Amino acid sequence: MDERTLRQADRVLSIGTWLIVFGAVVFSVLTVTPLVHGVTPEGWGWTAPILPIVVDAAVVIVVRLDAALARVGGQAGGWPVLLRWMTGLMTLGLNTAGSWLKGDAVGVAVHAVAPLLLIVSSEASLAYRRALTAAVARREAEQAAEKAAREQRQRDREQAERDREQRRIDAEERRAREEREHAARLAREEREHQERLVREQAEREREREALRLEHERQAREQKAREAEQQRLAKERAERERERLQAEERARREQQARAREQAAERRREQLLAVGPAKVKQEEHIARETVAAAFEADLSVRQAAELCGWSVGWVNSRYTEMRERVLAGRAS
């Protein structure tokens, strides 16, 4: 039996058991309630359904817990058995008591069907579940054993493959080592031959090198003398250039100071005039606005000085701010 069949059997058993429990509980409540109502004191008839509900709740608890324990293969001892039979016998007695008190043998037999079916189905479902649990456990054990055997075979194949690969690597390493030793021996002999040639060549080179060094020393001394003369001439030219640059900077600074003083006087003249009675010409108005901008006057004050509109002055202020920002960015 495969795992799918086992699960289907467990599902069928669960559905059938709960259908029997549901039918027996409903039948028991409908049968026992009139009996309990007949022996209940006057005014307490509304409590009649409580007793069958309590007994049937115990039956549901027993069936549910037995199913859970059976799935995990657990054992709860003798108390669950006692509870199962006690609730079953209570259900049987309560369901048949009314007919038995009336002496109705057929009624006793009819009302005993549901309780007896509930008792037997509970015991049978428990046995079925234990058998299914054992079958599932055996199936899982067989699958685990098969998996372990497959893994062992795979490990054996992998180990054999590793052994073959290791032997191949060892053989290749041995061949490579022999080739390296042979190549090293040839290289050593070639190196020794080359070293002899090099030593002979070195002797000849040392002689030529001595002559070359002597010529180079003389050439360096000549170059040093020429370089010293060039350095002195360059220093004189550098000092002359620095003197001329210093004079040019002084002249430019003097001119810049003169321009700044003239511009400052012009600004003071423009600002000292006061509010314009008539609108200034545009080029004079631009100078007035520039002077006001540099003096950090407001747009309205600059407009009063030049006689132009506040909007026109504000546009000139915006242009001058943009030029200042562009100059800082550059």
3-state secondary structure at position 187: helix
Whole-angstrom distance, CA of residue 330 vs CA of residue 327? 5
234-267: per-residue pLDDT in tens? 888 888 888 888 888 888 888 767 666 655 666 5
Pick the closest to residue 35 from 49, 24, 22 (CA basis).
49
Angle between helix axes 105-272 and 50-72 (nearest 10 degrees) is 70
Contact criterion met (CB below 8 Å) for 84 and 53: no
Give the per-residue pLDDT at 149: 85
Task: Enter the tokens of residue 149.
Answer: 């055997």
* pLDDT over 80 at 220, yes or no: yes
59-100: per-residue pLDDT in tens? 666 766 666 666 665 565 566 666 667 777 777 676 676 667
Strands (E), 5-85: none
Task: Enter the tokens of residue 181.
Answer: 């030793």
8-58: per-residue pLDDT in tens? 666 766 676 666 666 666 667 666 666 665 656 566 656 666 666 666 666
Whole-angstrom distance, CA of residue 87 vs CA of residue 85? 6
- Say which residue the tokens 């030029």 belong to: 323
Give the per-residue pLDDT at 18: 66
Whole-number percent of the chain with pLDDT over 70? 57
Give the per-residue pLDDT at 24: 67
pTM: 0.32
Q: Which of these ranges, 15-24, 203-212, 219-228, 273-282, has the smallest mean pLDDT?
A: 15-24
Q: Which residue type sits at 171?
A: A
21 Rama sector, left if φ>0, alpha if ψ -120 to 50, beta otherwise:
alpha
Give the per-residue pLDDT at 274: 67
Dihedral (Cα; 170, 173, 175, 179), 10-degree rounding: -170
Look up residue 275 and give its DSSP letter: S
Whole-angstrom distance, CA of residue 156 vs CA of residue 142? 21
When the pLDDT of each residue in the chain is averaged and rounded to a whole number, the result is 76
Q: How confident is the model at residue 1 (pLDDT cuts 50, 70, 90)?
A: low
Beta-carbon count within 10 A of 129 CB: 22
Whole-angstrom distance, CA of residue 114 vs CA of residue 24? 5
Give the per-residue pLDDT at 117: 65
Residues 6+ apart with CB under 8 A from 123: 84
How many angstroms separate the Cα of 87 from the Cα of each of 15, 81, 83, 280, 327?
21, 10, 6, 118, 101
Look up residue 273 and give its DSSP letter: T
Q: How confident is the model at residue 143 (pLDDT cuts 50, 70, 90)?
A: confident
